[in-house]
């Protein structure tokens, strides 16, 4: 594997499992130092050891409530002390409660917005001073098909948060482009993950039927897209949203 990210350091939020783990592993395999935060402390340790063994990369992990500014700032400071600089930020962490609007409490709505949208803002705000100073950066935000077409019948809070991710990235790209910092989104379709399991077999079957490739995606499918957007080669792509969905939605 070409070590195109050698000397780069990457933060991946929600990186202990699923898509985040696949992204962290892929970036590490391309030479990057990896910093992972998650709320699952046990999985963090296991993932760190697995990535180290598989890639030989340096891995820093910490359990973080990403909706709290002080904890986000402290984590970014720790990563800077550990690696010296941050070139890549992947805002991957997200939650997806499946409730119709009548069953969504104010507390649940606020939590979805905090994890899926506010945390992305906090991390971008924390890493940008360093990226601006070094005149280089790659920011990748995990949106969703749901942010574009509204998603499933339930979970309007999730769709709203992921739509917010799209607008945020398009605006931020304009603010930081002069410093050679790119900001892009990835919009996965149905991927093998805890979210897909929660949706159930019937919903997954409908997705497959609507897919050109007739399958659910693998976490690695998203990881390969993230690795490209995180690379120096993606220097002329910003403010964009890459669909990784097997052809269920085309634009």
The pLDDT value given to residue 198:
57
pLDDT of residue 231: 98
What would the pLDDT profile of 59-104 be if each residue is shown by its tens digit? Answer: 999 999 999 999 999 999 999 999 999 999 999 999 999 899 999 9
Residues noted as catalytic: 158
User: Does domain 9-244 sit in CATH 1.20.144.10?
Assistant: no
Long-range pairs, 69-78, Cβ under 8 A, ≥24:
69/122, 72/119, 72/122, 72/123, 72/126, 73/122, 73/126, 75/11, 75/35, 75/37, 76/11, 76/123, 76/126, 76/127, 78/35
Q: Cα separation of 34 and 230, whole Å?
A: 13
158-167, 203-212, 213-222 — which is least confidently predicted?
203-212
Work out the percent of the chain whose per-residue pLDDT is above 90.
80
Q: What residue ranges in the chain does DSSP mark as E strands?
A: 9-13, 33-38, 59-63, 88-91, 137-142, 181-188, 241-244
As a whole number, mean pLDDT of residues 137-158 equals 86
Digit-coded pLDDT (tens) for 108-135 = 999 999 999 999 999 999 999 999 999 9
The proportion of the chain whose per-residue pLDDT surpasses 70, expressed as a percent, equals 93
| pTM: predicted TM-score of the whole model, two decimal places | 0.93
Residue extents of the structural domains in the chain: 9-244
Residue 197 pLDDT greater than 90, yes or no: no
């Amino acid at each position: 594997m070409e070590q195109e990210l050698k000397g780069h350091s990457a933060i991946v939020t929600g990186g202990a499992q699923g898509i985040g783990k696949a992204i962290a592993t892929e970036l590490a395999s391309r030479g990057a130092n990896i910093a992972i935060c998650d709320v699952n402390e046990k999985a963090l340790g296991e993932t760190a050891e697995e990535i180290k063994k598989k890639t030989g990369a340096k891995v820093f992990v910490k359990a973080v409530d990403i909706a709290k500014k002080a904890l986000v700032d402290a984590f970014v400071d720790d990563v800077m002390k550990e690696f010296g600089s941050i070139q890549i930020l992947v805002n991957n962490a997200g939650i997806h409660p499946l409730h119709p609007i009548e069953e969504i409490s104010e507390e649940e709505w606020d939590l979805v917005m905090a994890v899926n949208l506010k945390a992305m803002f906090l991390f971008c705000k924390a890493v940008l001073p360093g990226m601006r100073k070094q005149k280089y950066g790659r920011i990748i935000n995990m949106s969703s098909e749901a942010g574009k077409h509204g998603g499933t019948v339930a979970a309007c809070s999730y769709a709203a948060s992921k739509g917010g991710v799209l607008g945020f990235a398009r605006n931020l790209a304009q603010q930081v482009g002069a410093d050679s910092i790119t900001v892009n989104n990835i919009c996965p379709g149905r991927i093998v993950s805890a979210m897909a399991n929660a949706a159930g077999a019937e919903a997954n079957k409908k997705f497959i039927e609507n897919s050109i490739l007739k399958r659910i995606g693998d976490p690695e499918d998203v990881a390969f897209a993230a690795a490209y957007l995180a690379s120096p080669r993606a220097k002329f792509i910003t403010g964009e949203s890459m669909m990784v969905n097997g052809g269920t939605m085309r634009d």
